Amino acid sequence: MKYLKYFLFGGMVMVFFSLTSSRTSRISEGIYPGSLIPELKVMDRLGNKQFDIHDLKGKKVLINFWAAYDAESHRQNIVLHNTLKEKEYQVTMVSVSFDENESVFDKTLIIDGLDKDGQYVDTRGEKSGVYQKFQLKKGFKNYLIDENGTIVAMNVSPGDLNRLLKS
């Protein structure tokens, strides 16, 4: 009984601090679901205009990292592009290729029948800051981003898109 009031007081103090700290906590940047998407800037194919992910705030965005030399990421780029086009989801797709040869990138887009809008190439390949920031050495990825810049899902398939975007 002697220590009960100290335990109660300590418990109240802990509850107070936990409630006040949660109001000021913010989502941090990262590359996993639940995090804010890190800064992503890539020059367009002509080097005239820089794409900045923060310019798309307020829109749902699908960011896809790929390269023509990586068969799975290349296939996924085509499938995701066609899925978004067919279903007419209100999602902006941004594809960033890490092909070091821009002519390979251009020919790949033509062969695949993809629009050049939303397609970017970083010819620095594995030396690119974006490549390193998103840890793409472990494999190419894609990210579904909500209107607030929060990563909703990662490595989504067309089925995942259908499930996530219908709600």
Residue 21 lies in a domain: no
Question: Hey, which of 4-8, 41-45, 92-96 has the most confident mean pLDDT?
Answer: 92-96
Residue 19 lies in a domain: no
Q: Tell whether the model's pLDDT for residue 154 goes beyond 70.
A: yes
Give the sign of the dihedral formed by CA 46, CA 49, CA 52, CA 58.
negative
* Residue 116 binned pLDDT confidence (cut-offs 50, 70, 90): confident
CATH number at residue 45: 3.40.30.10
Looking at residue 17, its pLDDT comes to 66
Residue 62 lies in a domain: yes
Number of domains in the chain: 1
Instruction: Name the average pLDDT for the chain.
Output: 88
Residue 119 lies in a domain: yes
Is 54 or 50 the better-scoring residue by pLDDT?
54
Residue 1 lies in a domain: no
* Residue 158 binned pLDDT confidence (cut-offs 50, 70, 90): very high
* Residue 115 binned pLDDT confidence (cut-offs 50, 70, 90): confident
Q: What is the pLDDT of residues 76-112, one digit of tens each?
A: 999 999 999 998 889 999 999 999 999 999 999 999 9
Residue 17 lies in a domain: no
List the domain range (segments joined by +) for residue 156.
Answer: 27-166
* Residue 144 binned pLDDT confidence (cut-offs 50, 70, 90): very high
Residue 88 lies in a domain: yes
Residue 18 lies in a domain: no
